[in-house]
Amino acid sequence: MRPSLIYRNGTIYELLMRGLYGRHYPARYRAIAELVPDGASVVDLCCGPATLYTRYLRDRSIEYTGLDLNGRFIARLARAGGRGVVWNLRSDTPLPEADYVIMQSSLYHFLPEPAPVIDRMLAAAGKQVIIAEPIRNLATSDNRVLAAIGQRFTDAGDGAQARRFSEATLDAFFRGYEPRVVQRSLIAGGREKLFVLTA
């Protein structure tokens, strides 16, 4: 399946995300990078153009692997000196193991039942699972035009995703993992909510 335009080009993807997050764009990555200590290994699911790696982790002694369905994003990561693997997260294949397994702004792709991917993340993580997910979305805007744009242009290559999390539904989902949740906080000017789960 052909991905939406924003998923075909890393530069377009980053420009759109910068537009959405404005001055909070760098903060969304810093919040995650600060949780990963030097010397750690990281697997970044749905890594996109791997901005977390290229701007925040590359110059540290971190063993990084990015997984994404999009071969163009993985090729871009390789050109930047990182390790990437084209990977379909809807398969049951066990994830590569790492100290920290991360997913940013992609859990909605697995609605209505995201628990299996979280469970595989927990199985692969040696220390923690870090998830940041948008809770304010264009796709759920009261403005029909903005909502249609948000829903239509978020096809990463496995079908458009109309569903999104609100803060209430995301909190409700993570209540099922309550014994493991060691941190939760709003980041990126309140557009995303961060959850850290112990492995």
Query: Do residues 74 and 68 lie in contact, with contact meaning Cβ atoms separated by under 8 Å?
Result: yes
Beta bridge partners of 131: 103, 195
Query: Do residues 5 and 12 lie in contact, with contact meaning Cβ atoms separated by under 8 Å?
Result: yes
Query: What pLDDT, in 10s, does the model give residues 2-23?
Result: 545 555 566 666 777 767 777 8
Q: Say how far apart CA 143 and CA 35 lie, in whole Å.
A: 36
The pair of structure tokens assigned to 2 is: 């052909």
**What radius of gyration do the chain's Cα atoms show?**
16
Q: What average pLDDT does the segment 56-69 reach?
A: 96
Q: Whole-prediction pTM value?
A: 0.82
Alpha carbon 66 to its chain centroid, in Å, reads 11
Q: What is the pLDDT of residue 156?
A: 47
Lowest mean pLDDT among 25-34, 81-90, 99-108, 132-141: 132-141
pLDDT at 192 over 60: yes
